[in-house]
Amino acid sequence: MSKTDLSQANLENESVTIVIPTLNEEEAIGLVIDELKQCGYSNILVVDGYSTDRTVEIARNKGVSVILQHGSGKRDALETAFEIVKTPYLLVIDGDMSYDGHDIHLLMAHSADYDQVVGARRMTRDNMTWLHRVGNRIITRAFNIFFATKLRDVCSGMYLIKTEKARALQFSAGKLTVEEEILAQNSIEGNVTDVPISYRPRLGGKPKPSTWRQGLADVVTLFDLARKYNAVMLFSTISALAIIPATLTLLWVLYEAIFHRFLHEGYALLGVMLLLVAGQGFTVTTLYLQLRRLERRLSKRT
């Protein structure tokens, strides 16, 4: 790397604060900090949720900034960080060694053009159970439908945000789904994208919430966020799903009319009404997606 490239890289590294929310991560936090420093990042902020092990001690011995969060949970930890970060950008990364600090530059490469850049994890059988992979795909696809995005991993714990955008966030959903709420607001009010990153099995630390509890919280929160931030897309999508009962009803009416010589006029009317509702849902959804694409193209030109 030339001196010019090295100087540019150092300038970019100084423009971002690495935020690490922690809770009982004594086995991994030291390794996480060492890796980040090896990658050239000096602005490191550990926001601790009142760990009962040596997490805080280890982090302070590594020479990074350590603060105790207000409230409890990751959402409150991030709110605490957003209030004090001074650099133009901040990057959130878990303190369990599951994310690779060497991938941060991939997110930074898109910092000027997007309000949030998500690290889309490469999920394999070696780093994630099949249940987590399937659940993540379902939640991500539903999010993409409701918010007209093309993201690959909405549950990732590594993402870059412009600090001014982070301070403007308003949280109202549950504490287990902070990543979804951040993405929802930034996708509606700004531009978001993602880049592929590596992913490792977590090292030690406090066990995460159960798979079923986390999954249920994700699904409930997703619908709630769509209702709050993008109600048009939510209800038009639900209306479009009326095509399923409409088709089944009309096929049954047709079957009865052909093979049993009997016309169920009431069910036929119901099927037609459901078909009209579905048609309206498809129309509104299509118009909304076209307007969103136009809005994003215009925002990129300005």
Centroid of chain to Cα 50: 25
Q: 259 and 208: one domain? A: no
Task: pLDDT band for 287, please (50, 70, 90 cuts).
Answer: confident
Of 145-159, 171-185, 197-211, 278-292, highest mean pLDDT: 145-159
Strand-pair partners of 68: 48
- Containing domain of residue 156, as a range? 3-229
Instruction: Enumerate residues 6+ apart whose C-beta is below 8 A from 193.
Output: 110, 113, 114, 116, 117, 118, 151
* Residue whose tokens read 């898109």: 110
Q: 60 and 182: one domain? A: yes
> Which of 26, 163, 174 lies closest to 95 in space, CA to CA?
26
Task: pLDDT band for 298, please (50, 70, 90 cuts).
Answer: low
Instruction: Enumerate residues 6+ apart whose C-beta is below 8 A from 263.
Output: 253, 256, 257
Q: 173 and 31: one domain? A: yes
How far apart (Å, rounded) are the C-alpha atoms in residues 25 and 55?
6
**How much is the mean pLDDT over the chain?**
86
Q: For residue 139, what is the enclosing H or E element? A: helix 130-147
Neighbouring C-alpha atoms within 13 Å toward the C-beta of 18: 32
Neighbouring C-alpha atoms within 13 Å toward the C-beta of 22: 38
pLDDT at 299: 61
Domain boundary among 211, 229, 247: 229
pLDDT in tens, 71-85: 988 999 999 999 999
pLDDT in tens, 102-161: 999 999 999 999 999 999 999 988 888 888 888 889 889 989 888 888 999 999 999 999
CATH number of the domain where residue 66 is located: 3.90.550.10
Domain boundary among 229, 256, 277: 229
Is the pLDDT at 174 greater than 70? The verdict is: no
Domain boundary among 203, 229, 255: 229
Q: 65 and 84: one domain? A: yes
pLDDT at 7: 43
Domain count, the chain: 2
Q: 154 and 243: one domain? A: no
Q: 108 and 237: one domain? A: no
How far apart (Å, rounded) are the C-alpha atoms in residues 275 and 177?
35
Token pair listed for 55:
């997490």
Is the pLDDT at 213 greater than 70? The verdict is: no
